[in-house]
Amino acid sequence: MTIYIDADACPVTRIAERIAKEHGIPVTLLCDTNHLLTSDYSTVRTIGAGADAVDLALINLCRRGDIVITQDYGVAALALGKGAKAIHQSGMRYTDDNIDRLLMERHLARKARQSGKHHLKGPAKRTEEDDRRFAESFEKLISENEYVCRTATREEMERKWNAEIERNAENRENWIVWKAMAIKNAEDGASIPYYGLLGQEIICEATAVLKPEYVQNGEGLADEHTAYLCAFRTNEAYRGQGYFSALMKFMLEDLRRKGYTKVTVGVEPEEETNRQIYDHWGFSEFIKSSRESYPDGTEIEVEYYGKRL
């Protein structure tokens, strides 16, 4: 998650930075060349001149799961369209339920100004109460959308597997069986499921298998000191943003605390990208290669590598 602030004359920049720093969330301030911003915490990006230059740059940067602070309803609407969260400097959250109304109000206000028949008042002077209201709303928004890595609860596993069953209706019976096996293995201590959650959304996952009988040709891959890592998955919308790296770090540290001294993974020879990822994480000890079978009868060659914790 990154927080992007439309920082031209934004009165809540320092408040947002303070709260973001407490949560360890990076912040990027965007301003045009008419403003000079400095920050001890945030990254400052000065955008060239142009009426919408900052707005366009912000929208190009933000991604699903980020937070945008802006008083521009149009920028907020585009941020929501990209899957980001957006909040006004007043503390009001932009949502799919209120953004159309806000855009219409902006349109009507603009027409009224252009007609010259209405004299609309400018915004009232900002008060300490306004700052307090924004801080409370912003803190709550972060807390509800903060990325957390943890071992999965029964409820979270139920929710995840039920979603998989719905997505794979044509193969429903198999998914029901796999769900029951996954939950039973976790409850019996044969495996540990790890989830990365953004708010309540499960966006990435991995499993550590702790017993060799639960791994095909599992000799040397799992035992009382060795865990076999598998079932890696990151939702497509969140790939390449560091979420899985954070989950991997959490999982390795958790296994180390539990007394495991080695972890293993399997990779098909043609999966060059996966091999590079495993190399990056230090899975350099070649263990063995073997023929494996998928449930549909397909056979593949798998190479196994290990890493000391």
DSSP letters along 185-221, please? Answer: HHHTTSEEEEEEEETTEEEEEEEEE--GGGSTT-TTT
3-state secondary structure of 261: coil
pLDDT band at 146 (very low <50, low <70, confident <90, very high): confident
Indicate which CATH number applies to the domain containing 185.
3.40.630.30
| 302 and 188 belong to one structural domain | yes
The 10 Å Cβ neighbour count of residue 276 is: 11
- Which residue among 126, 145, 164 closes a domain? 145
Residue 126: pLDDT band with limits 50, 70, 90: confident
The residue out of 145, 171, 192 marking a domain boundary is 145
> What digits encode the pLDDT tens for the residues 161-181?
999 999 998 999 999 999 999
Does 298 lie in the same domain as 201? Answer: yes
Does residue 115 sit in the same domain as residue 233? no
Tell whether 132 and 224 lie within a shared domain.
Answer: no
* 121 and 234 assigned to the same domain: no
The answer to whether residues 30 and 51 belong to one domain is yes
Model confidence pLDDT, tens digit, residues 50-60: 768 899 999 99
Shared domain check, 247 and 101: no
- The whole-angstrom distance between residue 157's C-alpha and the CA centroid of its chain comes to 18
Same domain, 140 and 157: no
CA distances from residue 91 to 132, 153, 306 in whole angstroms, order as listed:
9, 33, 49
- Whole-structure pTM value: 0.72
Residues 153 and 297 in one domain: yes
- Sign of the Cα pseudo-torsion (219, 221, 222, 225, in order): positive
CATH of the domain at 29: 3.40.50
Name the residue with higher pLDDT: 118 or 261. Answer: 261
Q: Do 285 and 168 share a domain, yes or no?
A: yes
Do residues 184 and 266 both lie within one domain? Answer: yes
Residues in the chain: 309
Residues 134 and 154 in one domain: no
- Report the number of distinct structural domains present in the chain: 2
Residue 256 structural domain: 148-308
Of the three residues 145, 176, 192, the one that is the final residue of a domain is 145
How confident is the model over 202-239, as pLDDT tens digits?
999 999 999 999 988 888 999 999 999 999 999 998 88
Q: How far apart are CA 179 and CA 163, in angstroms?
A: 11
